[in-house]
A and B are shown apart, each in its own frame.
Chain A
Amino acid sequence: MATTTLRPQLGTYGSTRSWVYEWLTTTDHKKIGVLYITTAFLAFLIGGVMALGVRTELAVPGLQFVDASLYNQLFSLHAITMIFLFVMPMWTGLANYIVPLMLGAADMAFPRINALSYWMIPAGAALILGSFAFGGAPIGWYMYAPLSATDPAKGVDMLLMGLVLLGTSSILGAINFIATIFKMRAPGLTLMRMPLFVWNTLVTSVLLLFSLPVVTSGIAMLFIDRNYGGGFFDPALGGNPVLWQHIFWFFGHPEVYILILPAFGVVSEIVPVFSRKPLFGYRAFVLATASIGALGFSVWAHHMFVTGAVYLPFFAFFTFLIAVPTGIKFFNWLATMWGGQLRFDTPMLYAMGFISLFLIGGLDGAFLAVVPFDFMVNDTYWVVSHIHYVLVAGSVFAIFAALYYWFPKMTGTKLDERLGKVQFWILFIGTNLAFFPQHLLGLDGMIRRVADYASNAGWTELNFLSTIGAFLIGVSTLPFLWNVFVTLRGPRDAADDPWDANTLEWATTSPPPTYNFDALPPVRSERPLFDLKHGAVAAHATALPAASGQTHGELREDAAEERLGKPVEGDRDESGEPRGVAPGVSAEAPDATPVAGRSEPDMAEALRQDAEKPSKPGEPT
């Protein structure tokens, strides 16, 4: 577990290599993370352009912009691009960068497999996006047989091959994360002290590991059906089209949690930091995450309520049940904020935007569990609205929260707050304008995946609004891109811990050196950095005296008297030590107080010195 013995080096492995060679061959989890994130963001822009094509066509009735054939390719590849090339690689990239840092590890468990996982993504993306040149893949993202098995376009075969590559990449990535999380944690970082983002990445990886092999085999069967007359899904040859749906959704529903659980993790990191409070109900949160993961495997057929081929009450019940752990998360986030000192920096705005809008996506999910109602809105715009409230208001908001939050760690400079807020509000309004009207359209019977709709159905105004919203979402990427461009040209002067955060990634420099840490602070709670800055006792105090001169991002220099307080009665961890009292930051104040007058970028150095001091188990005075 000791992963910090390697000496960190600033800069790259050797100055003789060109940076192109360096990036092409790197096995550094941070560089791979940046590659993932950049690739995913490009896919976000490409998928977004496809979405704008779809919405432009639907702005008014009639076919004006694209024909039905191109339309069908656009909506199919929009979904596939956004799910498989944007959100999944984006979360993998963020986790790649952040999870080893949060664990106090030097790298992922298998760095070269990590690089392999990444490089399968551009290859898969080339196949998938290249399918446009070969008739596209107009079969929808869930590729229902027999339509997908009989479509003559070669683009469909390219899509299937691309998906197998992406699936293999994700399976390898999942194994890598699981190994990293179980084997590479810093001393003292027990499972129940892991940051929630790590917990969510772990559950996500388990979901990937169990669901992806299933769909990958399904895709192989579909490929055989298409090219060699396999007949798996062809009733004329003894196959069954419904089998494909079972295979696909056995993956497809856990996939939704694969896309949203990391978002829960991000929000659970950001809300406590910007409320200056610990996460309310940490254990309940972990349990809720794990049970969402488990329940996620028992609800797949709720996508198939109208096939007439599934046992409805079973899947309805478990679908309802999954609302309970999700509800716990909402209340725990609210309770975390309650009584805090809320700072509305851009990451927090996005996290709160997530909470307020993902709520709609979640409530929609409960509606859809009402089977007779699902009979009405399945395959209508109501479901389109639901999935976009989950994936745009959910995943995309959390992705932006994460990008704003960890950008200073990755680059050494904070994104501009003013541009960030402008982007947030455009995206917030655009998301609601684009997707809320779709609820009403679906409830009125407008089906999805249609290039055109009747002009006398009364749907024109709401569709027009939805298109305006979609363009606002498109516009909202401009301030972000400009923000990144301008910020990266500016000075890299962000502090190691600019947000006054709690977790280990902020205990190293921004950006971290190769192999990440010179020394680690002791880990005695899920907030090791908080303990370091504010003292162990502060973590449990019910009321605190004033701290003069305290500003965000600085180590406290004058909180000695607080640390002299007694730990809360009965609050001891398994070893009998008071929980949250770090050896280097013991209740004996003088030892624990970081050196006065130390400048911020020296934090890593300070930690190293602290760690080298003889450890003194905290004793109540």
Chain B
Amino acid sequence: MRLRALLALLLVACTSEANQNFTGDTRPPGFFPGEVVTEQGRLSAGLYDVVFIIAAAIFLLVEGLLILIAIRFRSRKTDTGLPVQDHGNNLLEIAWTLIPAIIVTGLFLGTASVLGRVDEKVEDPGLVVDVTGFQWQWTFEYPGITRANGEPISFTGSGSDGPEMVVPTNERVRIRLKAQDVIHSFYVPQFFYKLDVIPGRINQFDVVVQQPGTYGGQCAEFCGLAHNEMYFTVRAVDRAEFDTWAQDAVQQANATPAPAPSGAESPAPGGTVAVTSVSTLEGFDPANLRAPADTPITFQLTNADPAVPHNVAVKGGNPDGTDWIGLPVAEPGASATYQAPAMAAGDYEFFCSIHPNMRGTLTVGG
């Protein structure tokens, strides 16, 4: 495999920053769908096989005829006069109108029946998950699972892996989709399904995940600058494990205090840095921050953006060298205070983990 060797070289040379966030079926692509894990998706994928066989037969017939004709009826030096000048043949023409018409009618009936089952929604699904898409992250909210103050537990993605949605296997899960800004699309390839997330509209679908596992998803409708980084994952577990997870999630949510209102909390010891996130496209103001070295840093973020949540993260800001990410995110128009660990002197890149294009420099020490 010389191509592979060449690619390996290229990869080493150019992909230092390449992301690895793909989760799910990593088998190489082929002519048939990869592993599909939902009841609905399996029905749809089954339809693909039927269409593929019909299409392949038509393809071979037409290409075969074309090649046969090219060989058999090529002009020769021995040709004399004109070939037979036939203008048509009603019987043949009716045949190749009717036969395709019958085939496509059959395909339509198959499509309609599968579509009915894929699109089917029950009165009372076992679990409802509300999905909110915004530039360029997701929030997953479980309206049926509430914390102490009565609010549903909710997970907003930050960082390049996005949030995780946990669902029980072999149960009907209703996914409700709404958008905050522009159109997105909720797409999990191994569900063999996607549905657009449209502002001003709630789209919903039911899904039964039949196989436990973690499946990658991504926004599929072009939604602006960081569209290609709008990832999420869906983890399907059995009911018992799901209940345990839900209990833990509620406990954790109860333990996390609600974000303090602006200015209510006295700054922690160490350096305090104030910064404003202006908007997704204009980034932070100021874009250059200073903080003392080796003391914990407090970020006071004012989110001046009227529509979109933001936060602050520091590349390599954790003591172990991973990115420090300030959570929870500051909602539009709100403020948030984040406690970051002490950092060694040097220049760091700070960014909004929802909008990786929003970047600035944090100079520590000096």
Contacts and interface: CB of A to CB of B under 8 A. Distances in A.
Interface in A303-323: 306-309, 312-313, 316-317, 320-321, 323
B272 to A, nearest CB: 32
A441 interface: yes
A454 B196 CA distance: 22
Contacts of A113: none
B265 interface: no
A276 interface: yes
Contacts of A324: 97, 100-101, 104
B44 A375 contact: yes
Contacts of A450: 227-228
A104 interface: no
B157 interface: no
Interface stretch (A82-90, A338-346, A421-429): A338-346
Contacts of A575: none
B65 A449 contact: no
B104 A321 contact: yes
Contacts of B204: 308
B112 A60 contact: no
B51 A367 contact: yes
Interface in A329-388: 330-332, 334-335, 337-344, 352, 355-356, 359-360, 363, 366-367, 369-373, 375-376, 378-380
B59 A62 contact: no
A309 B107 CA distance: 23
B221 interface: yes
B19 A366 contact: no
Nearest to B99: A327
A506 to B, nearest CB: 17
A72 B3 contact: no
Interface stretch (A208-216, A459-467, A592-600, A611-619): A459-467
B66 to A, nearest CB: 6
A379 B107 contact: no
B17 interface: yes
Contact of A443 (B33, B55, B183): B33
Contacts of A441: 29
Contact of B200 (A68, A235, A372, A379): A235
Contact of B218 (A61, A150, A447): A447
Contacts of B17: 62-63
B274 interface: no
B93 interface: yes
Interface residues of A, number: 113
B357 interface: yes
Contact of A367 (B55, B218, B221, B226): B55
A146 interface: yes
B203 A308 contact: yes
Contact of A68 (B190, B201, B226): B226
Interface in A521-543: 534, 538-543
A151 B224 CA distance: 9
Interface in B68-121: 69-70, 73-76, 79-89, 92-93, 96-97, 100-101, 104-105, 107-108, 110-112, 114-115, 118-119
B194 A68 contact: no
Given A378-B194, A449-B227, A455 B19 contact: yes
Interface stretch (B7-15, B163-171, B239-247, B340-348): B7-15
B227 A242 contact: no
Contacts of B205: 308
A332 B281 CA distance: 55
A123 interface: no
Interface in B22-60: 22, 24-34, 41, 43-45, 47-48, 51-52, 55, 58-59
A6 interface: no
Interface stretch (A158-166, A182-190, A404-412, A544-552): A544-552
B351 interface: no
B149 interface: no
Nearest to B217: A445
Q: Which 4 A-B pairs have the closest CB atoms?
A: A235-B200, A445-B189, A454-B22, A372-B44
17 contacts: A60-B10, A68-B228, A68-B357, A69-B225, A72-B224, A146-B181, A320-B107, A334-B69, A372-B47, A375-B44, A444-B29, A445-B189, A453-B228, A461-B7, A538-B85, A541-B85, A542-B84
Interface of A: 59-64, 68-69, 72, 138-140, 144, 146-147, 150-152, 235-236, 239-242, 275-278, 280-284, 306-309, 312-313, 316-317, 320-321, 323-324, 327-328, 330-332, 334-335, 337-344, 352, 355-356, 359-360, 363, 366-367, 369-373, 375-376, 378-380, 440-441, 443-462, 464, 534, 538-547, 550
Given A339-B73, A379-B220, 19 more contacts: A61-B18, A144-B183, A277-B83, A308-B195, A331-B92, A334-B66, A339-B86, A352-B66, A352-B70, A363-B59, A367-B52, A370-B47, A372-B47, A373-B51, A375-B192, A379-B222, A443-B29, A449-B227, A540-B85
